[in-house]
Amino acid sequence: MVFLERRGLQIIVKPLPCGMQNSLLFLFILVAGLARGQQLPENDPTRDNTFITVEQMPQFPGGQDSLLSFIRQNLIYPEKASDKGIQGKVLVSFIVDKSGKVRDVELKRGVDPLLDAEALRVIRLLPHWVPGMQDGKAVNVSYVLPLNFKLDL
């Protein structure tokens, strides 16, 4: 069982005491970029008409609450990382393409191979999204999702 709390763009997932988990997972969902319809720079190798922000951003099926639920159900704090007291923020980037598929999942900033691998694994499991729209057309949109693994000591 998990306690959920939302504060603006910050979503906090707190496992309730149940003897199975002794950790808190803070999940911050951020979307990179501020300008409407902003594209990646010309020299970016992933550019291929990939936007940072668009008129209508991609939507996870069921919205942010469903995304949070999906991550909560699938993310497992690695036992070895927990035993060693490893914690920190892992930044994962990915593209929601014009068909809604999550692709090009990459580690932007890691903490430890155990946490990095778990963050990448869960993001790669994401189902198809409703694609982002710009000028009435479906487009590729880049996302950055920070996952903050924190132990409840």
Q: What is the pLDDT of residues 111-125, one digit of tens each?
A: 999 999 999 999 999
- pTM value > 0.75: no
Query: Are 108 and 93 within 8 A, CB to CB?
Result: yes
Grouping H, G, I as helix, E, B as strand and the rest as coil, residue 141 is strand
Q: What is the pLDDT of residue 48?
A: 61
pLDDT band at 5 (very low <50, low <70, confident <90, very high): very low
Q: What is the pLDDT of residues 55-96, one digit of tens each?
A: 999 999 999 999 989 998 999 999 999 999 999 999 999 999
Token code pair at residue 62: 């069921």
Total domains present in the chain: 1
User: What CATH number did the domain enclosing 90 receive?
Assistant: 3.30.1150.10
**Domain that includes residue 37, residue range:** 2-151
